[in-house]
Structure 1
């Protein structure tokens, strides 16, 4: 970790937070597209309606 913080001038705490988030959500990165679509709470049209693009 010290190599990363030194090379990229990032605070060690930030690297720890990134690592924690990666470890908690890494399985989602490797989901198939079909699984990912099933797990989305909203469709694209839902989000467009909420933002006012679709009525």
Structure 2
């Protein structure tokens, strides 16, 4: 993973509790991004609609 991937993941997961989701501004391109944290295992799923980055933890 690149440093940009980590930057995106950090912003996506910040203040996101299990079972919750949010929209935020992508730190890479300024586009509309989304993130969700799984209720069961706490894994993070996030992506940006503009630049296409997607991460799963």
TM-score by length of 1: 0.29
Say which one has the larger Rg. Answer: 1
Higher RCO, 1 vs 2 (CA within 8 Å, ≥6 residues apart): 2
TM-score by length of 2: 0.28
Looking at secondary structure, tell me which structure has more strand per residue: 2
